Each structure stands twice: as C-alpha cells, then as structure tokens.
C-alpha cells in the first residue's frame, strides 16, 4: 500500500470547546456518530482530544449520586488527552499504521503546512485495505482476539462500564445463559446514558447494538468489507458449524491494522 495519509483521511475536524461539560460531549459524539472530538481553546486552537473511552475512564456512570454530580461538572478540558498526536498529510499510510500500533491510539490529526485538515483513524485505514482487491488475505482466525470481555444480558451498564475501564477494552459482548451472543456494548452505546437520570437501573440489553458475526474461516478481506459496510469497529467470530454457541473470539479494525503493520505481512511486500 503506497497511498499517502491524505488519500484515505476524513477531511475536516470535528471540535468542541474545552469549557463544555462531558454530558454535552456525549451528545455531540452521539449526534455525529464518532468516537472523538478535538478540543479547542477560546481562540479556536486545538489543544487536545477527547474520546468516548475518556468519558468511561472518568467513571461518570457512578451509582453514587454525589460522585455522579461531580463527574457531570467535569469539562472536555478536564478529561482530554494532550498534546494531540498528528501526522503530515503527505506521510505514508504505512507510517500512520505503525504510529497507531506503536502509540496504542486509534486516530491521528492530519496536518498540512502546520494546519489541521482532517483525521485518519484505524477504521479509515481498514477501509483503504478493503478497497484493495488484489492482495492475498489471511483468515479471521489468524488475527482475531481469542480472549474478549463478556457479560450476561442482565448485567447493569454501570458494571459493564467499570469492567471496560479496568480491563482497557472498548466493548463487551453480551450473551445469554447458553453463551449465545445477543449484542455488543461499546463506549458509544453507553454515552446516551450520561444524560439520562436513573442510568444506574439500566441493563446492557437496553443499550447494546446488534452483533455482527463472521466465520472464523472468513478472509480478512471479507471481514474488512463487513466492517466498512456497517460502520462497525468489531465483529463477533463464530464457528459456522455452531453459530449460536459461545463466540470463538472478536476481530476489530485494530486487529486488522496490526496485521497490516507486521513486517512479514502481505501488505508490506511492496515497500
């Protein structure tokens, strides 16, 4: 893949002021269906980035009313990460992928002549991979995560949020008593709860989204195509002989980018 960052970035940068409350940040993330916003100061300069995972890390879903009130008073400036990781628009996609892997982040702000012009994320790179048809593909089973976070369908969302935060996972798979996957709860799914009173009474089934499954024998090309088509970040991996049994694993956009960045990967052969 010899493309440059500017060839697969998303033009434009979604921003929010550092003074806005995290509840407002949640509304903006939900409205735009994105995972992050760039945070600006009063002069409009980008000074940080806030993500859905930052909101979870703040544990604003606390069942303690006093703690919840304190968390609701926090602003984007309080929880943002700074400085913002950036990359030049003319850099290679290979370099961007390696940066994401090395720095364990999901996005980079793209600059041109020192000015922000867009954002490139893990999913953007996966989309570029999916549009390349002549590359060989490995199998889902070769790169999926065999271990994943799971909970029962009656689990409170507060418990799920705390588990995701402590484990460092961005999602949890929801299963029934027989292990059948019912849905997935991501940080984005949890955001609307921050503006609702009584969130401590909600269960994961009230906020989860429909799971998308893929066979362990499917190719990475097929997995990338499904992720792109549905704008999902992860797929549940199943055994096609027992599709309703406990999932075999999870494959995410990050797993595919990690495979792409490996020195011996087919995506590196032309470099």
pLDDT at 212: 94
In terms of DSSP H, where are the helices of 5-84? 5-8, 22-32, 52-57, 65-72, 76-79
Which portions of the chain are predicted below pLDDT 50?
A: 59-61, 133-137, 271
Per-residue buried b or exposed e for 44-57, using 16+ beta carbons within 10 Å of the residue's own CB: eebbbbbbbbbbbb
What would the CATH number be for the domain defined by 5-130?
A: 3.10.580.10
C-alpha dihedral (205, 202, 105, 38), degrees to nearest 10: 120
Q: Is 135:187 a contact under the CB 8 Å cutoff?
A: no
The dihedral sign for the CA sequence 240, 244, 246, 249: positive
The CATH 3.10.580.10 portion of the chain extends over: 5-130, 140-261
Q: Tens of pLDDT along 70-106?
A: 777 889 999 999 999 999 999 998 899 889 888 888 8
pLDDT at 136: 44
pLDDT at 161: 85
| Count of beta carbons in the 10 Å neighbourhood of residue 131 | 12
For the question of whether the overall pTM of this predicted structure is more than 0.85, the answer is no
- Answer yes or no: CATH 3.10.580.10 is held by domain 140-261: yes
Q: Is 175:185 a contact under the CB 8 Å cutoff?
A: no
Mean pLDDT of the chain: 84
pLDDT at 132: 56
């Amino acid at each position: 893949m010899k493309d440059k960052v500017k060839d697969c970035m998303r033009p434009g940068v979604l921003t929010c002021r550092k003074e806005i409350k995290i509840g407002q940040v949640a509304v903006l993330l939900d409205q735009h269906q994105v995972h992050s916003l760039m945070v600006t100061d009063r002069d409009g300069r980008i000074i940080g980035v806030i993500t859905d995972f930052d909101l979870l890390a703040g544990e604003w879903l606390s069942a303690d009313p006093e703690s919840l009130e304190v968390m609701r008073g926090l602003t984007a400036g309080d929880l943002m990460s700074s400085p913002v990781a950036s990359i030049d628009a003319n850099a290679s996609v290979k370099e961007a992928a390696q940066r994401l892997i090395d720095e364990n982040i999901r996005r980079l702000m793209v600059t041109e002549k020192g000015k922000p012009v867009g954002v490139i994320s893990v999913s953007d790179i996966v989309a570029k991979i999916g549009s390349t048809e002549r590359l060989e593909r490995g199998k889902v089973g070769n790169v999926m995560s065999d271990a994943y976070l799971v909970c029962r369908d009656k689990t409170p969302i507060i418990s799920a949020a705390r588990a995701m935060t402590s484990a460092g996972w961005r999602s949890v798979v929801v299963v029934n008593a027989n292990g059948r996957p019912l849905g997935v709860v991501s940080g984005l799914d949890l955001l609307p709860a921050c503006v609702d009173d009584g969130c401590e009474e909600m269960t994961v089934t009230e906020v989860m989204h429909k799971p998308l499954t893929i066979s362990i024998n499917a190719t990475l090309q097929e997995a990338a195509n499904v992720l792109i088509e549905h704008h999902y970040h992860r797929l549940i991996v199943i055994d096609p002989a027992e599709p309703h049994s406990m999932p075999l694993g999870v494959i995410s956009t990050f797993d595919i980018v990690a495979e792409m960045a490996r020195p011996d990967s087919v995506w590196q052969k032309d470099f």
